Each structure stands twice: as structure tokens, then as C-alpha cells.
Amino acid sequence: MKWNLRLAAANRGIWKASELQRMLAEHGLVISAGKMSGLWSGNPASVKLEDLNIICVALGCEVGELLIPEPDKVTRPTQDQRDSVVASSGTTVVPKRRDGRSLPPV
């Protein structure tokens, strides 16, 4: 995914990170200068969905304007690679109940 906050902000006449930071604070998202720098400069390590929602509201945009898919960057394993992973694991995954109780016999 490509993070596109800076362009989305520029399309709305917002040219400074501090200006967007103030707008976000007005909508209830108070973030540090360091985190704002990460959001503004390019690739943030993570963005909470709640924060993403506030950013969209403050800018008046859709999520698709902020997050641009890049399917060409996804590498898909070949069939041989998938088969070797399955063969090398050699274990069977057995689901467990969340409450700790065992499942009935099959």
C-alpha cells in the first residue's frame, strides 16, 4: 500500500503538517509532532483504524484516497513453493475452543 496523505492534503490546500495536525486536534485526534512527521513524510509504520477515520473526516476524503493499493509489489509463491511449505510442515492443525474445553471426538 502506498500512503498518500500529503497529496490528499495538498488537494485541499493544506501544505503544512502543522496545519493538518491542528485540524485533526479539532476533530479529537491529538498526536505528537513525531507521529505527525511520520504520517506526513511517507510511510507510517501503522495507523489505527479510528485515527484513519478521523483523518478522512478532517480532510473530507475517502480511505481510497489515502491508501493506494500496489498489487505489483506483492509476490505470490509458485505452486512448487506452496507444495514444499505444506510438505515440510508435516503437522496437522487442530482447532481449539477459545474457552479451553476440548472439542468432541470426530
Query: Which tops the pLDDT comparison, 98 or 27?
Result: 27
Instruction: Answer whether residue 25 is part of any domain.
Output: yes
The CATH number linked to 41 is: 1.10.260.40
Question: How many other CB atoms sit within 10 Å of the CB of residue 5?
Answer: 23
Task: Look at residue 102 in the predicted model and tell me its pLDDT.
Answer: 75
- The domain of 51 spans 2-68
Instruction: Answer whether residue 51 is part of any domain.
Output: yes
Instruction: Answer whether residue 63 is part of any domain.
Output: yes
Instruction: Answer whether residue 14 is part of any domain.
Output: yes
Instruction: Answer whether residue 93 is part of any domain.
Output: no
Instruction: Answer whether residue 79 is part of any domain.
Output: no
Task: Look at residue 79 in the predicted model and tell me its pLDDT.
Answer: 76
For residues 20 and 27, is the Cβ–Cβ distance under 8 A? no
Task: Quote the percentage of the chain above a pLDDT of 70.
Answer: 86
Three-state DSSP state, 67: strand
> What is the number of domains present in the chain?
1
For residues 56 and 67, is the Cβ–Cβ distance under 8 A? no
pLDDT at 10 over 70: yes
Instruction: Answer whether residue 104 is part of any domain.
Output: no
Cα separations (Å) of 92 from 2, 39, 87?
A: 37, 42, 11
Segment 16-24 shows an average pLDDT of 96
Task: Look at residue 48 in the predicted model and tell me its pLDDT.
Answer: 95
Provide the strand spans (E) within 1-106.
2-3, 67-68
The pTM assigned to this predicted structure is 0.69
Instruction: Answer whether residue 57 is part of any domain.
Output: yes
